[in-house]
């Protein structure tokens, strides 16, 4: 729903900028059964909820090499170059923040140091549909690779035909990520948190999503699965003239 305000009166400002209130108790009552069913029934539950919420009938969740090949062809050259430039810049930035191991003798004979150790398996949730955030994939996957994470799992929703947005698949391809699953929503978070017949379990889940995804991340974090943070909502202001 969109509303247009032109020079609103000051007494309207508080109501205009007020965020929508979410009933978190209701959200949890909706999301918790999804998590429990995926934990119990695995792939069958994912198929059920993908059909129910996304309107897509999926037999296989993992993106195939043929799908990636077609996606690479579908992305136009200008976008490919832009993604390549983004990869270069993000890699340069995060590589500069890798610390060399420095040992300090705090007391004679006592050596102390700080050593970062990569998380072995991480899950990245990448929104698709009307907002295919391949930029989020870049910002999450590149630091994970630089850190040395061995297993990177990507979950992203498909459209009603079972196709993932080409820009997302092009990005996974150029980054060398092989484990991409066309699963969205709370069921994707559950799949990465608990593991299923098709989707490996991970140790930490990253990435933004809608209110159901955010709620799912918060719920699984109470069970010992690490998450990055509850993301959103996003607020954007654009200032532009006729040029």
Residue by residue, pLDDT tens for the chain (243 residues) are 578 888 999 999 998 888 777 788 899 999 999 999 999 999 999 999 999 999 999 989 999 999 999 999 999 999 999 999 999 999 999 999 888 889 999 999 999 999 889 999 999 999 987 778 999 999 999 999 999 999 999 999 999 999 999 999 999 999 999 999 999 999 999 999 999 999 999 999 999 999 999 999 999 999 999 999 887 667 777 888 999
The confidence score (pLDDT) of residue 1 equals 55
Cβ pair 181, 155 in contact under 8 A: yes
The confidence score (pLDDT) of residue 129 equals 75
179, with CB counted inside 10 A (0-12, 13-18, 19+), is middle
- The terminus-to-terminus CA distance of the chain in angstroms comes to 27
The confidence score (pLDDT) of residue 240 equals 86
Task: Give the global pTM.
Answer: 0.87
The confidence score (pLDDT) of residue 231 equals 78
Cβ pair 149, 121 in contact under 8 A: yes
Alpha carbon distance 67, 206 (integer Å): 24
The confidence score (pLDDT) of residue 91 equals 97
């Amino acid at each position: 729903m969109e509303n247009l305000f032109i020079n609103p009166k000051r007494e309207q400002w508080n109501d205009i900028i007020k965020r929508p209130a979410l009933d978190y108790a209701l959200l949890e009552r909706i999301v918790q059964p999804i998590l429990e069913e995926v934990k119990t029934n695995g792939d069958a539950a994912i198929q059920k909820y993908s059909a129910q919420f996304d309107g897509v009938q999926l037999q296989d969740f993992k993106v195939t090499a043929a799908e990636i090949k077609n996606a690479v062809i579908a992305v136009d050259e200008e976008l490919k170059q832009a993604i390549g430039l983004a990869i270069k810049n993000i890699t340069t930035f995060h590589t500069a923040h890798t610390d060399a191991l420095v040992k300090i003798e705090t007391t004679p004979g006592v050596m102390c140091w700080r050593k970062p150790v990569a998380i072995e398996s991480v899950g990245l949730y990448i929104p698709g549909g009307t907002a295919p955030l391949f930029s989020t994939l870049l910002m999450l996957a590149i630091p994970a690779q630089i850190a040395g994470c061995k297993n990177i799992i990507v979950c992203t929703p498909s459209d009603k035909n079972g196709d993932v947005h080409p820009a997302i698949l092009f990005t996974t391809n150029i980054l060398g990520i092989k484990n991409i699953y066309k699963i969205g929503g709370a069921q994707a978070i559950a799949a990465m948190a608990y593991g299923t017949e098709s989707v490996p379990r991970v140790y930490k889940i990253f990435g933004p999503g809608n209110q159901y995804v955010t709620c799912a991340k918060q719920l699984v974090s109470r069970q010992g699965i690490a998450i990055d943070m509850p993301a959103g909502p996003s607020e954007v202001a654009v200032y532009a003239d006729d040029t």
